[in-house]
Structure 1
Amino acid sequence: MNSKKILITGGAGFIGSALIRHIIDNTEHHVVNIDKLTYAGNLESLISIENSDRYAFEQVDICDVNTIKRVFTEHQPDIIMHLAAESHVDRSIDEPGAFIQTNIVGTYVLLEEARNYWTNLTDSKKDDFKFHHVSTDEVYGDLEGLDDLFTEDTPYAPSSPYSAAKASSDHLVRAWQRTFKFPTLITNCSNNYGPYQFPEKLIPLVILNALEGKDLPIYGDGKQIRDWLYMDDHARALLHVALTGEIGETYNIGGHNEIQNIDVVKTICAVLDDLVPSKHDNITKYKQLITFVSDRAGHDVRYAIDASKIKNELNWTPDETFATGIRKTIKWYLANATWCKRVKDGSYQGERLGVIKNG
């Protein structure tokens, strides 16, 4: 396959950085990473590929029309993969405005500037262009029965300001495809986990709190069910869809790992017991640190994805089980204490390292 220039929004985030590392390490494609560098953007997650001559970085707010226009003109991308988003549910409950601005307005700006850019491409380049919008299973809302699954045709019923904003962005992408014949794809993924995840998310929070002998907070009774997807599997799926997916289609990406939150935490505790037995006073097993806290407002009980379409049509399946993926994840956090410390104390935001490369 010919080398493509892929413009990735939100490439310094958890999933975006995994996608960029995958592309640079395993393909001949070129990457342009645009990221605003909010709290969730961490260029230290891209150190391993920072010196590649197939990688460029632009610090850009996707709501900035003129800068987005310049980036398209200068870099001439073949594919756009749109991952930039405010994504933390708790933060969306506290401050929904930022989610409306980035997830809805930002997606609109990106769509319009991408459409203007695409309209002026030559025939062959225009025919090959794709806009891949990366979304979440949370747009579907809550599943009722234990046997129900989200399919690509499940009606949207978002519960939080975050998922409502993402649902809105999905609708915009579909409208641009239908109205303007703009070549779009959408993927909706289940819960991601793995190395480099921001420590306020459940899995890294539990790992790091346990190592420090702190409480392991669980919302409600901990029986909420999620389908867990290892981030390297997701990165593979995203690139595969961007390169081979059918224009106008949606693909659900799941990990085939439905687990209650309480069991996720207990599994982490058991692996830590094996790898680094507790040395904290009065704690012989990490699960003794588990505490239950008031449930999140509007907390959905169960998410589960039917990923048969991407398997049957694009021949993609995840490589990792939760058992293998969580062990890899825990080992990574144990081996990367400096990265974790710099994220937790905020120092990662104060230095730009050598990763920023314009042009």
Structure 2
Amino acid sequence: MRTSALWASRWFVLAWSLAVLIPCPASELEWIVISEDGLGFEGLESGTSFSPWGFNYDHDRDGRLLEDYWQQDWPLVESAFREMKALGANTVRIHLQFGKFMEGPNTARTQALEQLERVVMLAEETELYIDLTGLGCYHKQDVPAWYDPLSEPQRWKAQAVFWEAVAKACASSSAIFCYDLMNEPVVAGGDKPREDWLGPAFGGKHFVQYVAIDRQARERSAVAKEWIDLLVAAIRKHDARHLITVGLVPWSLDRPGMTSGFAPAAVTQSLDFIAVHLYPEAGKLEEALETLQGFADVGKPVVIEELFPLKCSAAELGEFIDRSRGPATGWIGFYWGTSLEELRSAKTLPAAMTLAWLELFQAKRAAILGEE
């Protein structure tokens, strides 16, 4: 009996040691596809409904863009992903800067692609899906000197090279929820050409970018569709599986007043779903819901890819989220690397707004994801 007990003890110690020394592989994320009814998302194998619920991780607390610190401060990226997961997210939207990924019009940076693959592996490990947005020129000083002088066809070709390289690097990972071609693209209107490819700065960053600065008597939506179709084709050369969208401003709808040229009914045929950025205003929730319905009327899944209590209270944003369920099937807010504890101790208005958002995010999670 003593011998048996001794061997049993030794086997237990050996098994425990192996468990510690040989880490268990992270569970593989299920591929996400368009649901059978064409209006939402589901897991490919299980058929379980999927609603993107998460954060834009577009910069850190100091305003640095991801590529500014993702090598020297890699532990910061790791901790941010784990914090977003702990807050209840299932999706993280990252923003890739064109200038950080391209050596020249025809050549992508190998080092940047390798670091992107590292982020994708982190997403797999933390079980977070990635909304991968590309072609960013948020910091004007980082735009390559050779980029803006390119003609429109040359610029589009360089953008296609970017997306071919990114798609090739990410094609095999089920952690990629989607590729977002560009954040808030616009086709210039009027007959006078623009001089700048970027829209006005907001908070020191240029979030709006023009895909055409000279309309040349063309129909704006035709230009937008041609640009989308070109980049979708570039991605599909290497990746036939992942979903593709583009991040649209709310004034993309074909209505009187300012428009982007990206009227969703006219330009989204080759996209898998529609992504819209909506910031409801205080006392104007009906207007925001009407705008959302305009995108939903196209008949494809709609993800609200950006929202935040920027122009309304957290309570009103919560009401908007509740009432947007149906037209929308996904909601992505913001996380900038500051924990709830730090936000609670800070005594600033931005900290209070962010804290209110994160608390709302946690409170709504169960209902949105059907876990109540």
Same fold (TM over 0.5): no
Smaller-chain TM-score bracket = 0.3 to 0.5
Superposition TM-score, scaled by structure 1 size: 0.34
Larger-gyration structure (1/2): 2
The answer to which structure has the higher helix fraction is 1
Superposition TM-score, scaled by structure 2 size: 0.33
Higher normalized contact order (CA 8 Å, seq sep 6+, divided by chain length): 1
